[in-house]
Structure 1
Amino acid sequence: MVTPSARTNSRLGFIVSIKCNAKLSRRLICRIDPAAGPGEAMQMDPNSGNPETGPRQPGAVAEDQTAAIAFLSDPSTHGGHPVEVVETHGAYVFIAGERAIKMKRAVWFPYMDFSTVEKRRAACEAELRLNRRTAPEIYRAVLPVTLEPGGGLVLGGEGKALDWTVVMRRFDQDTLFDRLAQRDGLDAGLMESLADEIAAFHDQAERKTGVDFRASMQAVVEGNAASLQNGIGKPFRREEIERIGRRCADMLRAAGGALAARARAGFVRRCHGDLHLRNICLAGGRPTLFDCIEFDDRLAVIDVMYDLAFLLMDLEHRGLRRQANVAINRYLARTADYGGLAALRLYLCVRAVIRAHVAAAAAAAQRKAAADRDRKDAASYLELAMRLSEPAEPCLVAVGGLSGSGKTTLAHALAPGIGGAPGAIVIRSDVLRKQLFGVDLFHRLPQEAYTREQSRRVYRRIEALAGAALATGCSVIADGVFRNEGERSAIRRVAEAAGAPFAGVWLEVGAATQEARLAGRLLDASDATVEVGRAQRRGAETVADWPVLDADGGLTPLREAAARWLSEAGIECL
């Protein structure tokens, strides 16, 4: 049964009619006006390239997509629903009704080639397959835009494929993490959930063997330098391009051994590759990663820490150091991948440089308002890269006290303001104990896990990780009871061996406050109970070698008191 409904759009010059189809609940046909002469459907920039010779420069248009764009932009293609068109430098997204349809732009960049229909088809199929790893509820199908024998365009038809699309379930755009960030909606709980999702994804991601990731990063660093050259004057200066190139090369030389070792150890996997806030949303109430890199394995077969670094860099660029600090510390708690810290500063810097030259290239392909915005973004990303490339002096802070005294709360309140991006790494004894026993953070361990020998093992691990992190330039907060003078002296010696400033603080809390906190704990890595807290109080020693802070009050006065003491010890806490 056919129910025609046609109208003429004089601006676009085509007739739209809607039919039913046995394969799809609605078959949507766009008939191209035969009165239109060749090329009138789309006027290509004569300086951008052409379908015969290919693009002349990065971002240039390689094929005429106007008919498909017009078809997908028309409400009749979507059952009459209004259409919102979102353009990026690599795609058009047509949002209407309950779905979003993504079509690759026919463009070429050194890192992304969508210049032919076949390449766009392969990219769409890869996008569906790879994104269903993390967002199966969003990614539905790959459908062609076909040219039928009568001259009509059909979504998912039987004719010649003019282009290819990825069909997705529409989600509320207000749940995108960049929009949540604009509304100050990225609280600590949400960032922990996001870090949990990323850690679980990385754990299941396909391991890639035989990858020389040091050489891969060398190619990225050199490619960045070449790409930045295209932005000289708009908006980059030659001297800053040369300076960031030298700094990246120096950091790569310093971290090269660590990169090679991590590749051998299995940390190079088929990752997301484009893990920034605009590619994360809330779906079904949980953080969901989508729109991963599908067009070039060289950009997605990477170190998992390099994958995470994109998110951390994006948060830093937005002035969200606290959220970045929550994310890195929760990720480390879940994965125990402290070895990745050796390359983190390099990874953060390289990510910022990539965003700088991508934004500059996008500006060259956009209209004025969008181009001005992209050039501003490019300049700000390069400025961030400069800042990230400057090493910060690491320091070591130890927070001690009985269970329930507020050590972990204070450690995480201090961490974003200590050291360089993304803030201090919190090494917590309760977390390390769970890692050493190979159990989930919230799995309750038996009493045998808390013998004196096991506790010595945990504190030796704190000392080893703290020393290794300081050696990479990361500041550290060690969070443990530190009940005896020997444990406190040992953590101080770690800082001395690294030549790093040190400060230790002891939190004192009344019995009633301690017991109320222990009784009210939910989903915490600590197994301490009210009974454990009472036993600790009976055997507590007087602490004379660290300043004692009253932790009975709220967090704000406690943090202020701790920050004052750190300042006196020569440690800046913003």
Structure 2
Amino acid sequence: MEANVSDDSDISDCQRDVIAFLAGAGLVGPQARAVRRIDTHGAHVFIGAHDVYKIKRAVRYPYMDFSSLAKRRAACAREVEINVPHAPAVYKGLVAITREADGRLVLNGAGEPVEWAVHMARFAEEDVLVNRVARTALTVDEAKALADAVVASHGAAQVVVEPPERATIAAIAHNVLAALPGLFGGDDGDVLELTSELSRRIAVLAPLFAERARAGCVRRCHGDLHLGNVVFIGGAPTLFDALEFDEALATVDILYDFAFLLMDLDHRGHRAAANAVFNRYIWRRQEHTDLEGLAALPVFMALRAAIRAMVGAQRAASTHEGLAESRAYLTRARSYLADERPLLVVTGGLSGSGKSTLAAALAPMLGRAPGALHVRSDLERKALFGAGELERLPETAYGADVTARVYARLLAKSEAALRVGHSVVADAVHAHPSERAEMAALAQRAGALFVAFWLDAPRDVLLQRVGARKKDASDATPQVVERQMSYDLGELEWTRLDASGTPEETRCTAMSYLHASMGPR
């Protein structure tokens, strides 16, 4: 739910009395602050000191119809039903606004219902994600928690093996692309180019969409997973305001559902957060279908941006606002469809050299949105044993046979992503020449650009860093570092970086080399 400035000029006549009633301070008691109203394209929301009431706007769009009281009641009831499981602290229930015999409007009175509302508990608006990221970037822990919330939502979502035809990506795109010329002009260059390229990509990906549906990737999802529909309550991200007005539009591929969140973060200048959320989601789910599905992610993100452009332009048409923001989304949609050769960047080095820190810093800056897939050996080892990120593994988990399996996972995941055009940052010690050679061979097989860094740092720096670690997936200890110092690394053909300084210094050095070595792309 994202706020727009209230504008009485586009209020339906049938709702004027109700809106005036809900805007009255008497709803929330004599001690309450004045009720504040915000409007979205589909709702009027009234925020009091402790309670929030939301009514559906009496509007009809091609994709959303709240034109009758019965339809608005059904939508309110469905909103409560689908959101309570994920946001029980937010949703209080469905209430009727009734007109009594004396003509007064009351909540849940004995008279005839003239409108229906969703009753919600008020939460701090600064904790809504769209407002939070306007002030500051998400922390790493917040990004992980956000991804975990989406993983939980998708894990609980009902699988729909045969989704309705109008819920397919092709049908959704057709409706959006058909609406854009009337909003931006039939000869608009951005619209024409987006329509051509998005339609072409969707046709090419049709077999993948069908296969993903058969594999259970199409589910009854949140459906409207942008930053305005996530709030941090008690420090934990809570998804709310799931799409309630059309079951078909919410019955979509889980990566398409996820793409809205990634696109919104990226569009608002938070590519690093989008990349962190993306990588956490992929790692937590441990599903090969997600890696194959990366072929469709540019289309999913472009379509989400195009929908934002459409909705914004429709809103602008009714409120006489400008089209600048909608135009920016249109441009963003086109950018997601730009062709780009994938890149495989590998970071190696002894424990404490900063290879994982560098990999995480580089990933958002490489490849197509939301940045490169970061495949980390420490995390793959934990996943191999079904362990949590911070759960310490026994010594037996670090034997040569297990390490070989970890590197095999690293290679397989990297190859799966590269094969569908998604860049990868692979992060592991890579102490043995054979491990380094396999990475170079992978890049050649996949047709990817290849850059490999070996991070060097003095023994005392390595020991200090490893000894100071907290809340990290690596199980390395100072004793492990001492053992690694005796490794025979063989001939090192990778680019060696002095990693004894700050992480930012190492990142800048690496980026300078990347820019110089890759040239124009």
TM surpasses 0.5: yes
- SS of residue in 2 equivalent to 1:206: coil
Contact 2:443 2:450 in 1 (8 A): yes
- SS of residue in 1 equivalent to 2:184: coil
The Cα shift of 1:447 comes to 2.9
Return the alpha-carbon distance in structure 2 between the equivalents of residues 90 and 131 of structure 1. Answer: 17
For the pair 1:534 / 2:482, whether they are aligned, the reply is yes
Greater RCO (CA < 8 Å, at least 6 residues apart): 2
Structure 1 residues 508 and 211: alpha-carbon distance in aligned structure 2, compared to 1, 3 A threshold: same
Return the alpha-carbon distance in structure 1 between the equivalents of residues 91 and 231 of structure 2. Answer: 13
- SS of residue in 1 equivalent to 2:453: strand
For the pair 1:327 / 2:280, whether they are aligned, the reply is no
Q: Which of 338, 343, 349 lines up with 1:390 in the alignment?
A: 338
Contact 1:502 1:569 in 2 (8 A): no
The Cα shift of 1:204 comes to 2.1
Return the alpha-carbon distance in structure 2 between the equivalents of residues 167 and 510 of structure 1. Answer: 61
Counterpart of 1:129 in structure 2 is 81
- SS of residue in 2 equivalent to 1:538: coil
The Cα shift of 1:70 comes to 0.9
Which consecutive residues of structure 2, in runs of 5 or more, have no partner in the other structure? 1-7
- SS of residue in 1 equivalent to 2:20: helix
Q: How does 1:505-544 map to 2 (within 5 A)?
A: 505-544=453-492
Counterpart of 1:294 in structure 2 is 244
- SS of residue in 2 equivalent to 1:427: strand
Return the alpha-carbon distance in structure 2 between the equivalents of residues 215 and 133 of structure 1. Answer: 23
Counterpart of 2:415 in structure 1 is 467
Structure 1 residues 476 and 212: alpha-carbon distance in aligned structure 2, compared to 1, 3 A threshold: farther
Return the alpha-carbon distance in structure 2 between the equivalents of residues 297 and 250 of structure 1. Answer: 27
Counterpart of 1:348 in structure 2 is 301
For the pair 1:102 / 2:54, whether they are aligned, the reply is yes
Return the alpha-carbon distance in structure 2 between the equivalents of residues 215 and 382 of structure 1. Answer: 22
Contact 1:418 1:572 in 2 (8 A): no
Counterpart of 1:309 in structure 2 is 259
Return the alpha-carbon distance in structure 2 between the equivalents of residues 363 and 151 of structure 1. Answer: 36
Which one has the largest radius of gyration?
1
**Alignment: residue pair count:** 509
Counterpart of 2:5 in structure 1 is none
Counterpart of 1:358 in structure 2 is 311
Structure 1 residues 44 and 179: alpha-carbon distance in aligned structure 2, compared to 1, 3 A threshold: closer
The Cα shift of 1:522 comes to 2.7
- SS of residue in 1 equivalent to 2:46: strand
Contact 1:334 1:441 in 2 (8 A): no
RMSD: 2.1
Return the alpha-carbon distance in structure 1 between the equivalents of residues 206 and 394 of structure 2. Answer: 41
Contact 2:431 2:487 in 1 (8 A): no
Contact 1:85 1:95 in 2 (8 A): yes
Contact 2:393 2:475 in 1 (8 A): yes
> What letter corresponds to residue 92 of structure 1 in structure 2?
H
The Cα shift of 1:90 comes to 0.4
Cα deviation, 1:137-160, whole Å, max 9, x if unaligned, reads: 111111010111222211111221
Contact 1:392 1:419 in 2 (8 A): yes
The Cα shift of 1:170 comes to 0.7
- SS of residue in 2 equivalent to 1:391: coil
Q: Which of 152, 176, 192 lines up with 2:144 in the alignment?
A: 192
> What letter corresponds to residue 365 of structure 1 in structure 2?
S
Cα deviation, 1:315-350, whole Å, max 9, x if unaligned, reads: 221122111111111111211232331211110001
The Cα shift of 1:542 comes to 4.5
The Cα shift of 1:572 comes to 7.5
Return the alpha-carbon distance in structure 1 between the equivalents of residues 159 and 298 of structure 2. Answer: 23
Cα deviation, 1:152-206, whole Å, max 9, x if unaligned, reads: 2111112211111011111111112122222124233322221122122222222
Return the alpha-carbon distance in structure 2 between the equivalents of residues 212 and 515 of structure 1. Answer: 58
Contact 1:338 1:469 in 2 (8 A): yes
Q: Which of 64, 71, 74 lines up with 2:21 in the alignment?
A: 71
Return the alpha-carbon distance in structure 1 between the equivalents of residues 80 and 329 of structure 2. Answer: 30
Return the alpha-carbon distance in structure 2 between the equivalents of residues 536 and 92 of structure 1. Answer: 62
Normalising by structure 2, we get a TM-score of 0.93
Contact 1:212 1:263 in 2 (8 A): no
Structure 1 residues 500 and 411: alpha-carbon distance in aligned structure 2, compared to 1, 3 A threshold: same
The Cα shift of 1:69 comes to 0.8
Q: How does 1:157-556 map to 2 (within 5 A)?
A: 157-211=109-163, 216-233=168-185, 237-336=187-286, 337-366=290-319, 368=320, 371-372=321-322, 375-556=323-504
Structure 1 residues 307 and 215: alpha-carbon distance in aligned structure 2, compared to 1, 3 A threshold: closer
- SS of residue in 1 equivalent to 2:70: helix
> What letter corresponds to residue 44 of structure 2 in structure 1?
Y
Between 1:547-556 and 1:435-444, the stretch displaced more is 435-444
- SS of residue in 1 equivalent to 2:55: strand
- SS of residue in 1 equivalent to 2:296: helix
Alignment identity in percent? 41
> What letter corresponds to residue 417 of structure 1 in structure 2?
M
Return the alpha-carbon distance in structure 2 between the equivalents of residues 340 and 184 of structure 1. Answer: 31
Q: Which has the higher helix share?
A: 2
> What letter corresponds to residue 62 of structure 2 in structure 1?
P
Structure 1 residues 224 and 554: alpha-carbon distance in aligned structure 2, compared to 1, 3 A threshold: same
> What letter corresponds to residue 65 of structure 1 in structure 2?
Q
The Cα shift of 1:44 comes to 9.2
Structure 1 residues 91 and 214: alpha-carbon distance in aligned structure 2, compared to 1, 3 A threshold: closer
- SS of residue in 1 equivalent to 2:183: coil
Cα deviation, 1:242-273, whole Å, max 9, x if unaligned, reads: 22111111211232222222222222222111
Between 1:137-146 and 1:207-216, the stretch displaced more is 207-216
Normalising by structure 1, we get a TM-score of 0.85
Query: 4+ residue runs of structure 1 moved beyond 6 angstroms?
Result: 212-215
The Cα shift of 1:569 comes to 2.5
Return the alpha-carbon distance in structure 1 between the equivalents of residues 144 and 129 of structure 2. Answer: 14
The Cα shift of 1:564 comes to 2.3
Return the alpha-carbon distance in structure 2 between the equivalents of residues 215 and 359 of structure 1. Answer: 22
Counterpart of 1:49 in structure 2 is none
